[in-house]
Amino acid sequence: MKILVTGADGFIGSHLTERLLNNGYTVRAFVLYNSFNSWGWLDYAPQQIRDNLEIFSGDIRDPHGVKEAMKDCDAVLHLAALIAIPYSYHSPDTYVDTNVKGTLNILQAARELGVKKIIHTSTSEVYGTARFVPITEEHPLQAQSPYSATKIAADQLAHSFYAAFNLPVVTIRPFNTYGPRQSARAVIPSIITQIASGKRQIKLGSLHPTRDFNYVADTVNGFVAALQSEKAVGEVINIGSNFEVSIGDTVNEITKIMNVDVTILTDEQRLRPEKSEVDRLWASNAKADRLLGWKPEYAGLEGFRRGLAETVEWFSSSANLARYKSDIYNL
């Protein structure tokens, strides 16, 4: 199969692109066009990966480029999105253009070209603060940020194309993915990069919210399982560890691994507005097990500690750490 991966230059997308190539797929990597000819994280992939990649530089917001990129592809794994929640507070238009219109461009092109499967990427943020746990796919959708509102809209568009046109769409809903290459706008890389840079007073936002963290290898396995499953079409499927941990406890686990003591300073600019904060996330992954045969390999507290250790090791490399600006807030 020939697979188009949008957002292939990003955190999860680059890991997924490498996995697909290693599994024998032909991959066309859709990366955001820029005059630097940067392929994002794919620039740092092993030479064997880069030699076997087909790169398409474009913009998910442009329907003509999207359709051109999709020609002769059997399947599309659509990960391209704007995801930083604080940025969505002051620049919501660009989230509508990228997350909603960009997804529409993918769906319309896939329909016109007869693509055999579309994997659409959702997010646990669409659930908002949990009304019940563990969160199943039937949980109400609650837009608590402009970002989550655009992802709900994109999810509904994806479902509408399945319902109206029988487009073979699968919606994968990853909970909080972490691991090597993640942007420091996310909490785990923010903690690690501050400590690895020598800081012992680290700046964070709220410590009480809980998250269902998933190591990137598990998330990638979920995408591959959805691509290969015949049962997943038309479905929304959580990819989560079924393990809940607070941000405060996450800090404690990281400091144990890095063997440091830290003082936490509350940084006001890192706090979400009160009603926008998602206080609790905890995934049910029973449906993923039933339809995809997927289970997290980094499950429970032991798996979380193992994933954190691998993440700390990667970020602690001087070459990797140098790519981050740990002294400033990464919006």
- Report pLDDT digits (tens) over 104-124: 999 999 999 999 999 999 999
Same topology for domains 2-180+214-243+280-300 and 187-208+244-277+303-321, yes or no?
no
Length of the chain: 331
Which top CATH class is 2-180+214-243+280-300?
alpha beta
The pLDDT score that the predictor gives to residue 275 is: 97
Residues 210, 129: Cα–Cα separation, whole Å: 10
Joined tokens for residue 158:
């994806």
Radius of gyration of the chain (CA): 19
Give the H/E segment covering residue 120.
strand 117-121
The pLDDT score that the predictor gives to residue 257 is: 98
Instruction: Give me the catalytic one of 147, 178, 215, 298.
Output: 147
Give the H/E segment covering residue 210.
strand 210-211
The pLDDT score that the predictor gives to residue 243 is: 98
Residues 134, 250: Cα–Cα separation, whole Å: 19
The pLDDT score that the predictor gives to residue 122 is: 98
The pLDDT score that the predictor gives to residue 48 is: 96
Residues of the chain with pLDDT under 70: none
CATH architecture label of 187-208+244-277+303-321: Alpha-Beta Complex (3.90)
147 tagged catalytic = yes
Residues 166, 156: Cα–Cα separation, whole Å: 14
With H, G, I as helix, E, B as strand and everything else as coil, classify residue 63: helix
Tens-digit pLDDT profile for residues 62-79: 999 999 999 999 999 999
Domain ranges, ordered by start, for the chain: 2-180+214-243+280-300, 187-208+244-277+303-321
Residue 141 has φ and ψ, to the nearest 5°, of -90, 135
Residue 330: name the closest of 194, 236, 221, 128 by CA: 194
Give the H/E segment covering residue 225.
helix 216-228
The pLDDT score that the predictor gives to residue 95 is: 98
Residue 20: name the closest of 47, 43, 52, 44 by CA: 52
